[in-house]
Amino acid sequence: MFVAEQKIPADMEWDDADADAVHAVAFNRLGRALGTGRMLEHVPGVAKIGRMAVARQRRGTAASAVPSSTPCSTRRGRAATAQAVLHAQLGAAPFYERAGFVRRGPEFDEAGIAHVEMLRVL
């Protein structure tokens, strides 16, 4: 989605953090991937969720919530992680607000796209 649809350079999409991140993938009943995301330790006590993507035809459906809720559920109950942070594209911020995230700080540019940092207590 990021590279093909949003034209973000491929070299910005993969990094060394992938090896240590918790990855979530939502599949439909036919085994087709619907969405994905990753989570890693941002700073002690705070997980960072990123690389959230949902198949175009599934955006706005119940399936679109799985990639954002799965990393939070994975971390909830682990005493060492109390919060999750993410960088939301402005158009997606209302989606994350419905998932319990709140905006924090000013808008900023990331890969040529306006974003806002969002935080959720786990």
- Provide mean pLDDT across the span 84-90: 93
Q: Where are the domains of the chain?
A: 10-121
Give 103-121 pLDDT, tens digit per residue.
999 999 998 899 999 999 9
Give the model's confidence band at 25: pLDDT under 50 very low, under 70 low, under 90 confident, else very high.
confident
Q: How far apart are CA 107 and CA 20, in angstroms?
A: 28
* Phi, psi angles (nearest 5°) of residue 12: -90, -10
pTM of the predicted structure, to 2 decimals: 0.74
For 10-121, give the CATH class. Answer: alpha beta
Torsion of Cα atoms, 79 then 16 then 85 then 97, to 10°: -120
**Element spanning 105, H or E:** strand 102-110
Q: How far apart are CA 55 and CA 50, in angstroms?
A: 16
